Amino acid sequence: MPNPTAIIRLRSVAALSFAALILSACEGSVTNIDGERLDQAADASRVGYPCVPSDEANPDFPGFDKNSITVESGNPSCGGGVCIVDRFQGRVTCADGQPTPAACIDDAECADGACVDGLCTSGCFAGDLPVTVPVCGQCSDRTTAEAVHCSCMCGPPPSEDPDPTASYCSCPGGFTCQPVARWGELAGSYCVRLPATDDPTCGTVGGFWAPRCHGVPAP
C-alpha cells in the first residue's frame, strides 16, 4: 500500500502538452486538469529503462519530493509508455542540485563565467535554459537507477478486482507489482524496482541541501 503521507501525481504527455492529475493518497481523490483521456500503457518491454520526466523541461521546476510518486504516460524515453518517479528527490538531470541562481548581466559576474538569460548558471539546466530555482541534491539511498524508470500498469488499483477490459503487463525480474493510485484514468498497480518500500530513507545529500530537503548534508 502507498505511504498515506505520499502525494501521487498522474500525468499524460502528448507532444508538448500534457494532462495532469494530482491525487492526495490520504484523501483518495483525483482532479483531471484539462479533461483529456489518459492512456493506460501495459507494455513491459521497456520496464526498467531510464527515463526523464517531462517536468524537467520546465526551468521553474524545483525537482521531485521524496514523499511523492509521479506516474507519467506518453513519456518519450519509454517509447510513449509510462515513466514512474517513485519517492525520489531532486531532478533526474541534475544529481547535485543547485542553490538559487544569482542574477547577472554578463559572464564576469558569475563564478563559473556563464550568464544565461540573466542568471548565473549553477549546474541545473532545462534543455538550454538554466533552472531558475533551488533544487535539492539527490539522496544517496534513493538514486535515479532505483527510483526513476519506465514502468507499466500490472494490475488494478488497491483492493479492487482486475478490470476485464484492461490489458495488464507482467513485471520482469527485479521488479514487483506495487499498488500506486486508487482513482483516475491511470489508477492501478505499477512495476517498481525491488526492494519496494513505502518509506525509503534518503541518506546523505552530496550536492545542494537546505532545510526543506530530505536527508542530511554529506560531510
* 112 and 56 fall within a common domain: no
Write out pLDDT tens, residues 190-212.
999 998 888 889 999 999 999 99
Residue 9: per-residue pLDDT:
64
Q: What is the mean pLDDT of the chain?
A: 82
Residue 6: per-residue pLDDT:
54
Backbone φ and ψ for 200, nearest 5 degrees, come out as -70, 150
Instruction: Give Cα separations from 199 to 68, 88, 128 (angstroms).
Output: 10, 11, 35
Pair 23, 181: CB distance under 8 Å: yes
* Cα 151 to Cα 171: distance, rounded to the nearest angstrom: 9
Write out pLDDT tens, residues 16-28.
333 333 333 333 3
Residue 30 has pLDDT above 50, yes or no: no
* 109 and 202 fall within a common domain: no
Whether the bond between 195 and the residue before it is cis, its omega within 30 degrees of 0, is: yes
Residue 14 has pLDDT above 80, yes or no: no
* 44 and 120 fall within a common domain: no
Structural domain contains residue 129: yes
Give the residue-averaged pLDDT of 116-121: 88
* 32 and 72 fall within a common domain: yes
- Considering the chain, what percentage of its residues have pLDDT values greater than 70? 81
- The candidate with the shortest Cα–Cα distance to 207, out of 153, 155, 136, 146, is 136
* 128 and 167 fall within a common domain: no
The total number of residues shown for the chain amounts to 219
Write out pLDDT tens, residues 145-172.
999 999 999 999 887 888 888 889 999 9
* 84 and 163 fall within a common domain: yes
Residue 181 has pLDDT above 90, yes or no: no
* 151 and 80 fall within a common domain: yes
**Structural domain for 157, as ranges:** 7-93+135-217
Pair 127, 93: CB distance under 8 Å: no
Structural domain contains residue 1: no
* 109 and 78 fall within a common domain: no
Res. 8 pLDDT band, cuts 50 70 90: low
Cα dihedral across residues 170, 173, 178, 180: positive or negative:
negative
Output the pTM of the full model: 0.80
Residue 15 has pLDDT above 60, yes or no: no
Structural domain contains residue 75: yes
